[in-house]
């Protein structure tokens, strides 16, 4: 019996690659990118494998949509076009909301829609690429929705202000477009009475992996009159997927985060913007099994006036969160601490406002003789014999001897400094725990009668040597999860990884085979399945930790002939 079960599992796993239906939908863009709350509007969605699309789905309660018509593409470079009607309810919160398409092939990837309180204005037809042809905006606040359709295209919009008005202009763009904004005033010249003079421009402060590319432009108008807003693509590209929305509103007293943030990860340990607060030790304790209560974290303001004088650095004891800012170029903050031989400490850094590459926090631990004991720079040699150096937001270290040490906190460049270059540095003992979970897909389209797999990898932080117990809950009816195994891909041996153990960690991996029975009811909309992990240390189980939420659908086998409508799940 056991042999037959293993054979069945092996057969199911062998077809995992074929389990994803050929017609799984993929979305490229939507235009316009959103609309005003309390209104209905039509939109065009472009993508692949949209034939048979019957519905749209959003996790937001106030977003409803219906399909109007479908235009099938004629080739690989000719996408399908889906015409839909969307409605944003009055109570829908302003910001970004996900939208997906449901087809016989399953659930699509998500597109982000912008819901806003200000009226929506659509770009008028015809060319708007000169100040003389600018589209007039009768009033603001407003949100302009447009398209950079041609290579090198720019769009101009004219608007009126009073003297002293301060406006905020913000872009919200499709993934294909890196929008730039500029403010112009018609000043004229001897040669061209329509000549416009540029007053302000913004693309984004800096382009860096993981950082948003949306433009934010704040400007106070000294004189009343008509001004121009110019929208363009930074790279000069154009096409049907180069879509933008520009929000125009009175500038608030304080800057607000933009663009609307994507859903935050459930847990992360090596992100420069992750929160480090006074409850950090308690949150770490929830990811392991402890026999005693976690220690309290002390807060130290490194920019307090007393520490700005040429005085001795403050001494810290126990877990301490140091908060400060690099207020001027070359600013260095220092604290002192003691360590015994074998003490294991973690140095965590967060940059809550400006982040890399505008701020590059460098930590140096100095012994009493002035020797550098530790930094947060990971130096390693690659296969080309090149040395790679990178600063890391988390460093773990075991002290080999007793001593009094000084921790220096500074920007690695010593070139810039302002109050926005804020940091938080948490010095604490090791807490062996389960760290970040790495799960591949955010959606899974299971074919009835076939199988697919989900791999879960979770980090073992700070010497955690217990078990990680995985489970999946909330699967659709007729879907079973069983544990499996898969071979790790071969990796070339590293040349010299340096002090790797200080900066990265080991991990545990589990693979689930999701088996959809041949008579499993087909789902009309996605079901949210949750992957949990529990720490287990010396036979004691910790609390369940949510590792990942996955949207799951059961779809018909495209090669099968029976009518799937006969067994569709009402969900």
Pairing state of beta strands 540-541 and 467-473? unpaired
Which residues on adjacent β-strands are paired with residue 409?
333, 363
Helix (H) or strand (E) holding 120: strand 120-122
Q: How many CB atoms lie within 10 A of CB 571?
A: 14
Secondary structure percentages of the chain, helix, strand, coil, to 5: 5, 45, 45
* Sheet with 372-375, side-by-side order of all strands: 332-339, 403-411, 361-366, 372-375
Residue matched to tokens 């416009």: 196
- CA nearest neighbour of 398 among 345, 338, 340: 345
- CA nearest neighbour of 177 among 135, 127, 217, 213: 213
Which residues on adjacent β-strands are paired with residue 135?
157
Residues 6+ apart with CB under 8 A from 358: 205, 206, 416, 421
d(CA 113, CA 95): 8
Helix (H) or strand (E) holding 167: strand 166-173
**Opening angle at CA 435, ends 501 and 270, nearest 5:** 65
Residue matched to tokens 């872009």: 171
Pairing state of beta strands 95-103 and 216-220? unpaired
d(CA 431, CA 291): 12
Residues 6+ apart with CB under 8 A from 261: none
Span 280-431 CATH architecture? Sandwich (2.60)
DSSP state of 134: P
Where are the domains positioned within the chain? 24-114, 120-250, 280-431, 434-567
Helix (H) or strand (E) holding 447: strand 443-447
- CA nearest neighbour of 462 among 346, 343, 373, 547: 346
- In the prediction, which pLDDT does 310 show? 59
CATH number of 434-567: 2.60.40.10
d(CA 67, CA 83): 6
Q: Give the chain's largest Cα–Cα span.
A: 94
Tokens (6 digits) for 20: 């994803």
What is each CA distance from 133 to 157, 158, 325, 329, in whole angstroms? 9, 9, 47, 46
Pairing state of beta strands 142-147 and 120-122? parallel
Strands (E), 174-287: 179-186, 196-202, 216-220, 225-233, 243-250
Which residues on adjacent β-strands are paired with residue 78?
75
Tokens (6 digits) for 353: 């406002």
**How is 245-264 classified by DSSP, letter by letter?**
EEEEEEPPSS----SPPPPP
Q: Does 434-567 match 120-250 at the fold level?
A: no
Backbone torsions φ then ψ of 135, nearest 5 degrees: -75, 130
Tokens (6 digits) for 1: 């019996």
Ramachandran class of 34: left when φ > 0, alpha when ψ lies in -120 to 50, beta otherwise: left
CATH number of 120-250: 2.60.120.380
- CA nearest neighbour of 221 among 174, 159, 175: 159
CA atoms within 13 A on the CB side of 286: 9
What is each CA distance from 439 to 19, 308, 465, in whole angstroms? 18, 46, 21
d(CA 228, CA 197): 10
| C-alpha radius of gyration, the chain, whole number | 28
Strands (E), 73-133: 80-88, 95-103, 106-107, 111-116, 120-122
**How is 501-516 classified by DSSP, letter by letter?**
GGT--EEEEEEEEEEE
Span 24-114 CATH architecture? Sandwich (2.60)
d(CA 540, CA 435): 18
Q: Over the chain (571 residues), what is each successive 10-residue block's mean pLDDT?
A: 39 41 83 97 96 94 95 84 97 96 95 97 91 94 97 96 97 95 91 89 80 92 96 92 97 87 87 94 95 92 68 91 95 95 97 92 95 94 78 96 96 91 97 93 93 93 94 95 76 75 89 93 95 94 94 86 50 43
The span from the first CA to the last CA of the chain, in angstroms, equals: 35
- SS3 of 6, please? helix
């Amino acid at each position: 019996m056991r042999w037959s079960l293993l054979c069945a599992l092996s057969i199911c796993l062998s077809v995992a690659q074929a389990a994803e239906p050929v017609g799984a939908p993929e979305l490229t863009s939507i235009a316009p990118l959103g609309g005003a709350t309390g209104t209905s509007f039509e939109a065009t969605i472009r993508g692949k494998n949209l034939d048979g699309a019957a519905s749209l789905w959003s996790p937001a309660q106030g977003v409803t949509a219906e399909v109007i018509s479908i235009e099938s593409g004629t080739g690989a470079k000719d996408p399908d076009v889906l015409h839909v009607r969307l409605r944003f309810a009055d109570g829908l919160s302003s910001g970004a909301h996900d939208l997906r398409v449901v087809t016989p092939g399953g659930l699509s990837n998500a597109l982000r829609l912008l819901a806003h309180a200000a009226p929506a204005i659509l770009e008028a037809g015809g060319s708007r690429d000169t100040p003389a042809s600018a589209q007039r905006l009768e009033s603001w606040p407003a949100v302009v929705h447009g398209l950079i359709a041609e290579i090198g295209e720019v769009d101009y919009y004219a608007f009126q202000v009073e003297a002293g008005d301060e406006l905020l202009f913000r872009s919200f763009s499709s993934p294909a477009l890196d929008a730039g904004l500029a403010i112009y005033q018609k000043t004229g010249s001897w040669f061209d009475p329509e000549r416009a003079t540029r007053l302000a421009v913004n693309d984004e402060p800096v382009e860096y992996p993981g950082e948003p590319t949306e433009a934010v432009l704040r400007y106070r108008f000294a004189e009343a009159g008509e001004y121009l807003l110019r929208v363009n693509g930074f790279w000069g590209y154009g096409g049907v997927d180069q879509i933008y929305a520009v929000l125009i509103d009175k500038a608030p007293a304080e800057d607000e985060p933009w663009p609307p943030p994507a859903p935050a990860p459930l847990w992360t340990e090596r992100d420069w913007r992750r929160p480090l607060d006074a409850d950090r030790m308690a949150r770490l304790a929830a990811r392991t099994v402890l026999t005693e209560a976690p220690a309290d974290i002390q807060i130290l303001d490194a920019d307090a006036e007393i520490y700005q004088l040429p005085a001795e650095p403050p001494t810290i004891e126990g877990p301490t969160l140091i908060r400060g800012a690099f207020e001027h170029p070359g600013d260095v903050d220092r604290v002192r601490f003691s360590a015994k031989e074998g003490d294991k400490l973690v140095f965590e850094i967060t940059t809550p406002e400006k982040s890399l590459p505008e701020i590059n926090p460098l930590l140096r631990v100095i012994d009493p003789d002035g020797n550098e004991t530790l930094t947060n720079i990971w130096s390693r040699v690659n296969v080309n014999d090149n040395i790679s150096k990178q600063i890391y937001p988390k460093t773990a270290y075991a002290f080999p001897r007793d001593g009094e040490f000084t921790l220096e906190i500074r920007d690695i460049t010593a070139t810039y400094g302002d109050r926005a270059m804020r940091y938080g540095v948490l010095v604490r003992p090791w807490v062996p725990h389960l760290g970040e979970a790495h799960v591949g897909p955010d959606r899974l389209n299971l074919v009835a009668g076939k199988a697919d797999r989900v791999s879960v990898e979770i980090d073992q932080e700070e010497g955690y040597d217990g078990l990680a117990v995985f489970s999946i809950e909330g699967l659709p009816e007729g879907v079973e999860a069983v544990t499996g195994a898969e071979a790790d891909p071969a990796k070339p041996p590293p040349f010299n990884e340096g002090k790797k153990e200080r900066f990265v960690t080991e991990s545990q991996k589990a693979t689930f085979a999701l088996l959809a029975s041949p008579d499993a009811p087909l789902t009309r909309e996605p079901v949210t399945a949750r992957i949990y992990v529990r720490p287990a240390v010396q036979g004691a189980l910790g609390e369940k930790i949510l590792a990942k939420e996955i949207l799951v659908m059961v779809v018909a086998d495209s090669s099968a002939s029976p009518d799937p409508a006969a067994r569709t799940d009402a969900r």
